[in-house]
């Protein structure tokens, strides 16, 4: 399973505090792999980094996450379960990776 599939799988499993933390740990690992890949083989400055991250600073990460939350009604337009606040916040963090 490639890292993107693993991260996506971890996101789908978010249902409670423990699974949320496991998703966050997978997101951290994904970012660490991306930083390493970018150092080894830099991507074009006009697209995502070597690991697929569009938002590579904390400012752009949070901006992307906030834009996703605004545009999607914090996931309600994507049918993210409103009763699962852990999944909604995981979606917020996941969107920070590449939402513009």
Region of residue 52 (left: phi > 0; alpha: psi -120 to 50; beta: else): left
**Are 70 and 100 spatial neighbours (Cβ–Cβ below 8 Å)?**
no
Is pTM beyond 0.85? Reply is: yes
Which one, of 100, 87, 96, lies nearest residue 34 by Cα?
A: 96
Mean pLDDT lowest among 60-64, 73-77, 79-83: 79-83
Averaged pLDDT for residues 52-58: 93
Say whether 43 sits in a helix, a strand or coil. coil
pLDDT of residue 21: 97
| Token pair for 19 | 């699974």
Count: domains in the chain: 1
Q: Is the pLDDT of residue 24 over 90?
A: yes
Domain that holds residue 59: 3-98
Distances 4 to 27, 31, 33, 85 between C-alpha atoms, Å: 10, 11, 11, 23
């Amino acid at each position: 399973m490639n890292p993107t599939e693993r991260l996506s799988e971890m996101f789908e499993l978010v249902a409670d505090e423990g699974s949320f933390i496991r998703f966050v740990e997978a997101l951290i690992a994904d970012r660490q792999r991306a930083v390493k890949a970018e150092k080894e083989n830099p991507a074009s400055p006009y697209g995502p980094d070597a690991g697929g991250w569009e938002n590579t600073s904390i400012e752009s990460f949070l901006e992307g996450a906030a834009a996703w939350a605004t545009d999607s009604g914090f996931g309600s337009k994507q049918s993210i379960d409103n009763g699962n606040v852990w999944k909604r916040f995981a979606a917020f963090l996941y969107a920070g990776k590449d939402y513009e």
